[in-house]
Amino acid sequence: MKKNQSHKSSLYSRNPSILFILFLLIFMFQLFLPKIAFTQKQIKLQEENDLYFTYCEVNGLKLKFIFDTGATNVTISAAEAVFMIKNGYIHPKDIKGSSYSQLANGEIIENTNVILREINIEGIILHDIEALIVENLTAPLLLGQSAIKKLGKVTIEGNILTIDNAGYVPLSTKLKYKYTLSNKAHEYYAIELYNLVISTLNEAIDLIGFNNLLCEDYLILADSYRRLENFEKQISISEKYLEQCPNMPSLQDTLKRIDFLSQLLVVYDHSDQFEKGIISFEQAIYLLNKSSISAKSYRLFIINYNLGISYKNRINPASAVKHFESALSHYCNFLNISIYDLPEEYKDDMYLCQIFSHLSILYGFLDDTFQSEKYRNLRSDCNN
């Protein structure tokens, strides 16, 4: 027995490459085992009257669906829809109008189209799923192809649903993203290394998917593209942030969203997407009006000032005047001053002097000599 062990030892010592190959095989097995383990997921369905049911969380609400590979869309009944809308599980902005479908008996019925922001199926999270609200209080809930096709390859044997799902993100991978890549990106952002922010979060996107970033990461990624003047990418990331991250009730989150929308207004303008910029403006104003944010006047000033610039660039003097006048009013409220008795220390204020100049020119375009002269005189009192 000892002789045999001695023979094995001498074999390894004479062939060190064997040990290297063994260690390499062990390393590769450990490296790829998590991926192998998580590429397939099995879910036990409930079988009732030849139908298969599964529980899903829709925007956080647990519901029981028929798993129906023959249905084109996810469908929910009018009863569930009313409950979800009343209790905030479906936001009115996610309702996208009407459509028509044909039943098996040939009857044509009208449905309401809606986007379900999140469906959680046993830990697999799907985003932005097209669904129909069926105008029938007792219609069954169907998990149809608009969700199933996002799962990947699915097979059903008995009551076992097997999902070969490349999009499934295991918890270990999510933790790696959150506590490694996300933290690193925020460190880079704090020291203004915007290229490294972008490369780090793009690595995270490759790891967990574009829809699964933290809301804070969408914000710093969009702002990094803005600072590098890649406005097309900034818009793409910004729109994903607005889709994925509903406005939260906290004052801090509301403030971040308002400032974000104000920046987006300018970027849309630079990218010749002015209509989208107007929507951003309206959303920011809506949030400001219903919030209790301090320095509200200053933010209303910034938003209206930017919109005034946009309208002026588009040679729309009437709309430009409206927003510059609003900007001036909010700025004076913020500073607690009057333009008719301007304190000496504000006579070189950059914003005041710029607004006076803009209004003088714009009222000239509108043939309002009195107002044009008034703001020209105010501008002449500026020290700069």
Please tell me the predicted confidence (pLDDT) of residue 1.
Answer: 47
Count Cβ atoms within 10 A of the Cβ of residue 123 and give its class: 0-12 exposed, 13-18 middle, 19 or more buried. exposed
Q: What are the pLDDT digits (tens) for 215-272?
A: 888 889 988 998 898 888 888 888 888 777 765 556 667 777 777 787 777 777 777 7
Q: Return the residue matching tokens 């849309």.
A: 268
Q: What are the pLDDT digits (tens) for 327-384?
A: 999 888 888 888 887 777 777 788 888 999 999 999 999 999 999 999 998 888 776 5
Total number of domains in the chain: 2
Task: With CA atoms as reference, report the closest residue to 219 among 250, 259, 169, 174.
Answer: 259
Task: With CA atoms as reference, report the closest residue to 126 among 56, 205, 73, 76.
Answer: 56
Q: Is there a domain that residue 226 lies in? A: no
DSSP code per residue over 130-197: EEEEES-TTPPPEE-HHHHTTT-EEEEETTEEEEE-TT---HHHHHHIIIIIHHHHHHHHHTT-HHHH
Q: Are the CB atoms for 238 and 226 separated by under 8 Å? A: no
Q: Is there a domain that residue 282 lies in? A: no
Q: Spell out the residues 6+ positions from residue 360 whose beta carbon is closer than 8 angstroms to its own.
A: 372, 373, 375, 376, 379
3-state secondary structure of 62: strand
The domain boundary, picked from 115, 143, 164, lies at 164
**Which residue range is the domain that position 306 belongs to?**
295-384
Q: Is there a domain that residue 28 lies in? A: no
Q: Is there a domain that residue 260 lies in? A: no
Kindly state the average pLDDT of the residues 279-299. 76
The whole-angstrom separation of Cα 289 and Cα 287 is 6
Q: Is there a domain that residue 155 lies in? A: yes
Q: How would residue 150 be classed by pLDDT, with cut points 50, 70 and 90?
A: confident
Q: How would residue 318 be classed by pLDDT, with cut points 50, 70 and 90?
A: very high
Q: Are the CB atoms for 101 and 159 separated by under 8 Å? A: no
The whole-angstrom separation of Cα 33 and Cα 11 is 30
The whole-angstrom separation of Cα 351 and Cα 329 is 12
Q: Output the CA angle 198-201-205, nearest 5 degrees.
A: 125
Q: Is there a domain that residue 263 lies in? A: no
The domain boundary, picked from 129, 164, 199, lies at 164
Q: Is there a domain that residue 276 lies in? A: no
